[in-house]
Each structure stands twice: as C-alpha cells, then as structure tokens.
C-alpha cells in the first residue's frame, strides 16, 4: 500500500509537469492573417476584465469588448475561450497609409497637370515667336515697296503694334511658365515632407507594437504557471 501511494503521487507530479510544459509551449496570443486582430486563448484564472486590461482596453470600452466577443455574462467565461481583440495600432496605420496614398495620388495628378500647363505655355511662346518672325518678314517686304510708302507706313505701324503685342504675350507666357515651375517644385517639396511624416509614423507604430510585445512577454514570464511538486513516501 505505501508503495502504491508513492506511485500514485509520482504519476500526479508527472502529469502536472507535462501540462505545465504544454502551457509554456503555447504562445500567449496570436494574430490573424491580416494582422488586425489578436487571438488570445483564456487560461485558468483569466476573466474578461483582466484580458481587456492586459491588452490596454479602457474600462469604458469593456462592454463593447464583451459584446464583440459574444459574452453576455462575464462570470461564466472559462479557460480555453478565445478572445478577439482589435489591433488598434495596425488598423490606424492602415488607415493612415491609405490616406497618404490618396494624397500622394492627388499630388501626383496635380504635378502632372502643372507640367502639362507649362508645356502649353512653352508651345504658346513658340507660337508667339513664330508670329513675330512672320511679322518681321512682312515688314521687310513692305520696306521694299517704297513706291507705296503711305500704305507701307500704315502697315509698319500695324506691324509695330503686332510686335509689341507679341512681345507682351511672350513675356506673359514666360511669367506663367515660371509660376508653374515654382508651383510644381512646391508640390514636390510638400509631397516629400508628407512621405517623411508617413515614414516617421510607421516607425513609431512599429516601435509601439514592439513595446507591446515586450510587455506581453514580460507579463507572460511573470504570470506563468508554477509547478509545486509534493509527494509522500512511506516505508
């Protein structure tokens, strides 16, 4: 009989040790494939309020957390229940990235439009220069017609007016081209600044996620199950 009691005690200790090894081998939590939700399998002694606090859910959001997990009575949630906790950092980072991509697309379209406007101004300047060249050719022909000086004088006067108008148009076109180039450079700088801000925010989000994982590992190390081996032997 003493030997049988000793064997039963050894068997119980071995069973407890195997259960402890299996518990330690399981991860504290997992992530869904899209990375937006934590999956946490409740352990003995866990309750919904403690799980919510573990994942940084404010007390005011605990009722919504229970509803999202289909829990109507927090006192009847036992070990093995799988909690689904939203990954707020990943969701915020995804939304911010989508917003930045939309801003990037809009700025890219604006830059393309400004470039097209600048090209239009260049074409208008070339057309104005061509018009001025044609006016000079006509002025040369009129100068050779000395017999028709009164008519030539009137034509030259009109030619001068056309040349002045062409010069004014060319100057205005150059100014608009310069303005378009300055605006395009300003848009490019703004785009670069927004990209830098987005990169900084991503790095900050990654740092916070790493801090959360470190805290969870530390909590797991502190809250891990302890195995107490007891036994009675008799002779």
How confident is the model over 1-6, as a mean pLDDT?
40
pLDDT at position 83: 92
pLDDT at position 3: 38
pLDDT at position 16: 38
Instruction: List, as own/partner pairs, every contact residues 21-26 make where C-beta atoms lie below 8 angstroms and the sequence separation is at least 24, other chains included.
Output: 23/224, 23/225, 24/224, 24/225
Comparing 54 with 232, the larger pLDDT belongs to 54
What global pTM score does this model have? 0.31
Sequence spans of domains, the chain: 2-87+216-223, 90-213
pLDDT at position 132: 85
pLDDT at position 18: 38
How confident is the model over 123-132, as a mean pLDDT?
89
Determine the Cα–Cα distance for residues 147 and 224; give it in Å rounded to an integer.
114
Query: Other CB atoms closer than 10 Å to residue 173's CB: what's the count?
Result: 20
pLDDT at position 31: 81
pLDDT tens digits, one per residue of 94-115: 565 677 778 888 888 988 999 9
Whether 12 has a pLDDT exceeding 70, the answer reads: no
- pLDDT, averaged across the chain: 78
pLDDT tens digits, one per residue of 153-166: 888 889 888 888 88
């Amino acid at each position: 009989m003493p030997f049988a009691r000793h064997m039963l005690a050894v068997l119980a200790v071995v069973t407890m040790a195997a259960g402890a090894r299996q518990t330690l081998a399981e991860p504290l939590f997992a992530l869904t494939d899209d990375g937006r939700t934590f999956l946490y399998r409740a352990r003995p002694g866990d309750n919904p309020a403690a799980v919510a606090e573990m994942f940084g859910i404010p007390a005011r959001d605990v009722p919504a957390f229970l509803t999202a997990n289909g829990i109507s009575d927090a006192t009847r949630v036992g070990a093995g229940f799988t909690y689904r906790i939203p990954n707020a950092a990943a969701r915020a980072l995804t939304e911010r990235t989508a917003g930045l991509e939309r801003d990037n697309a809009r700025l890219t379209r604006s830059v393309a439009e400004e470039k097209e406007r600048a090209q239009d101004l260049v074409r208008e300047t070339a057309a104005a220069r061509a018009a001025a060249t044609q006016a000079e050719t006509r002025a040369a022909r009129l100068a050779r017609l000395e017999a028709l000086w009164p008519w030539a004088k009137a034509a030259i006067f009109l030619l001068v007016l056309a040349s002045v108008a062409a010069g004014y148009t060319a100057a205005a076109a150059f100014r608009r081209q310069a303005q378009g180039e300055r605006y395009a450079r300003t848009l490019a700088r703004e785009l670069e600044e927004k990209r830098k801000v987005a990169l900084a925010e991503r790095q900050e989000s990654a740092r916070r996620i790493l801090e959360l994982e470190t805290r969870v590992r530390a909590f797991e190390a502190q809250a891990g199950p302890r195995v107490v081996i007891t036994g009675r032997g008799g002779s």
